[in-house]
Structure 1
């Protein structure tokens, strides 16, 4: 125990913000919260203070509150930055027993921490095939870009080990919690699969942080010109941090919180996600307007892509009581187009149809082949569009007077540019009071 009677416990961290030494009662609290010694700091409020002190080089102190499955603690923390890490002094430590959290609440907290620490996330369909990929770890550039190019394939095909064959038919739980290696990374990655209606979320969490060096943007950020190269990565980092911190507050990982403040944190996280979506839209906008933009056409099944879009958005439709009438299993319409970009267009069309259809309504998705052209039509029961609105609906930043829905007014403009870049077209038929029918047309694939 520390000799200073005012100090309850001391601890020490290294340059990677790992807790390498800790006295009681912090050591026991750290282990109960899922941490190891030595190992990453698992108390968000303490981690934030340590990072700030090390980054600024200033001695910082404040009161923090936290809890594990057994205790709720409050303590005064002083962090003294050093040459390699920090010294942490804790005083006025108070702990009180709390009622055990129900399993559902523990799952929410654990998932929030996984999302915060993940270096790569992906959206999978119900067969664990890749739909969309995002990553922030710079040592996953090679794996991330390969996964993006391999949309529609099993995510396990992109691990360094050839392990997908032996588990291809296994239940998803056989993968959850396993550790894999990824090409280009020397770290090991823990797998977290979250089942959703119509698919899964995949998160890969590293076994250790990268060495503490000057930040370097990933190649994913470097690929885009203009906004994508200069502004988007700069904006993404603080906005993502805001969202992560708001989620930490909302799920009370940093300690108990009154309900109104938890709801306020949820509003902050939601607003941050809308801002990230806008950043993504602006980056995509610049990409599709670049003369060098060239999609990667492939043999796809337009009916299959439509079913995937309906599956991904099924939960959103159910929340509004809307029935999605998608192409039936076995129905096939061969086409030529880039799978990922075609899915992006259909997610936009189906998402808009859900948003503007009345609650309890229906959205139809129909596919057909006409004169060697593949078509998919998304029809809704919304208010419909006048001739003047139809002329403007594909314009850049056009929202037709709508407000408060978080949209950027870029979705349909980008979708049409993507369709045209793939040798296709995107059109609308509508009338006031009769809903709208958006049709995506792509070159057909007679050999399909």
Structure 2
């Protein structure tokens, strides 16, 4: 065996990828992996290359890894098809067999996996300020509808004021570590819930706020609420399909992240990359579903916002805080309005934040690495304005009139965008009595201006 030295074991498979003969130590590993002899190859990495060699009719040689109890097995294998493509089995030669203790994931890796899974299966997510006050909240679970309404009507209120924590007897302020993983009782919901708090900001965790996730301990009861009480007379994508699709897609993402991070055991790099692609595709699909749901909401004849007095500059600073990690990953510097800048405006806080997150997120995506994205906020007469300025390629003159069209993606391809973000953002701005406009020249970046009615 070239590159492997002495042959330690030989084996054979048939045309159905069943292991029909095997020497030790492969025979023992086959059984410990849950397979039989004869039986389908039970070592995943070996099965994959056996199938590839048989289908292509080509000899394949490489190192494989497999879990064997508390040990990791590494071996060099050569797979030699014994017939024409797909018509026969394969001869297997094994060399360089070695075992090492299975690596224990670090505390950081374990925590990252826990958060990734909770984020994927959570039925409520919210952004909190550094004092755990509610900034935005989103949920499609029918038994959380009343909770969401209360949170949205009282922005800035600690999230713990809206739920019961039966295992804790504490007073504000509550340190976030005490409520991370706490059992929650939500008024109006028959299900139990567990809270996950993800601290944002470095080097002091929580300095940029928190992400709150609520994970249910059981599926929604089929009888809650009665279908006639919660479904409209005509089919509704947002109300019917979004909750149905979110959970299975979220679980696909969570499982793919588990595989990608190798926390379930060693895995060749190519399979880890496959899992990363699956997770990314799942995230794109989930984003598209959320956009389509938002589209249905803003195009409804009875759509209304809940305007209140807000500080537009403060909302801009919060948007920058939320997107800070994403910007740093691309080497982009975000420059929000200064802390002393105050711009009173009239608008619905969470909708204004949604618009600015979309504008700043687009700017990060379009700007070259190392660029600067500035957010300016000011009062001009009776209007409050927030301007997002990027150093990206700009928008060609022949496309600028189509920027806010439905499904317009500005020529992007393959990035998973739906082309609905700017359309939805403008609809939201106009629903609040304002507008969203753009000024750009090709090669000179873009300036997106959000206008809202001012406030005294």
What TM-score do the two structures reach when normalised by structure 1?
Answer: 0.72
Aligned residues: 365
Q: Distance in 1 between matches of 2:132 and 2:235?
A: 32
Q: Among residues 204, 210, 218, which one is paired with 1:209 in the alignment?
A: 218
Q: Among residues 167, 185, 188, which one is paired with 2:189 in the alignment?
A: 185
Q: Distance in 1 between matches of 2:229 and 2:114?
A: 28
Q: Distance in 2 between matches of 1:440 and 1:159?
A: 35
Do structure 1's residue 259 and structure 2's residue 269 form an aligned pair? yes
- Check whether the contact 2:367–2:392 (CA below 8 A) recurs between aligned residues: yes
- Check whether the contact 1:127–1:199 (CA below 8 A) recurs between aligned residues: yes
1:138/1:227 Cα in 2 relative to 1: closer, same or farther (>3 Å)? Answer: closer
The aligned residue for residue 70 of structure 2 is 71
How far the C-alpha of 1:215 sits from its partner, in A, is 9.0
The aligned residue for residue 278 of structure 2 is 268
The aligned residue for residue 410 of structure 2 is 400
The aligned residue for residue 286 of structure 1 is 296
How far the C-alpha of 1:429 sits from its partner, in A, is 1.3
Q: Distance in 2 between matches of 1:389 and 1:212?
A: 49
| SS of residue matched to 2:339 | coil
1:334/1:220 Cα in 2 relative to 1: closer, same or farther (>3 Å)? Answer: farther
Q: Among residues 352, 370, 374, which one is paired with 2:362 in the alignment?
A: 352
Q: Among residues 243, 249, 253, which one is paired with 2:253 in the alignment?
A: 243
| SS of residue matched to 1:147 | helix
1:62/1:280 Cα in 2 relative to 1: closer, same or farther (>3 Å)? Answer: farther
Bigger shift: residues 96-105 or 215-224: 215-224
1:266/1:216 Cα in 2 relative to 1: closer, same or farther (>3 Å)? Answer: farther
The aligned residue for residue 236 of structure 2 is 226
The aligned residue for residue 54 of structure 2 is none
| SS of residue matched to 2:447 | strand
- Which residues in structure 2 correspond to 1:2-401 (within 5 Å)? 71=70, 98-115=102-119, 118-135=122-139, 138-160=142-164, 167-197=171-201, 198-206=208-216, 208-209=217-218, 222=231, 226-252=236-262, 254-401=264-411
What TM-score do the two structures reach when normalised by structure 2?
Answer: 0.70
How far the C-alpha of 1:131 sits from its partner, in A, is 3.2
Q: Distance in 1 between matches of 2:355 and 2:295?
A: 13
- Check whether the contact 2:166–2:185 (CA below 8 A) recurs between aligned residues: no
- Check whether the contact 2:166–2:183 (CA below 8 A) recurs between aligned residues: no
- Check whether the contact 1:156–1:163 (CA below 8 A) recurs between aligned residues: no
CA root-mean-square deviation:
3.6
1:417/1:288 Cα in 2 relative to 1: closer, same or farther (>3 Å)? Answer: same
- Per-residue deviation, residues 65-92 of structure 1 (Å, max 9, x unmatched): 9x99x93699xxxxxxxxxxxxxxxxxx
User: Which ranges of structure 2 fall in alignment gaps of 5 or more residues?
Assistant: 1-33, 35-39, 45-65, 74-98, 202-207
1:299/1:72 Cα in 2 relative to 1: closer, same or farther (>3 Å)? Answer: farther
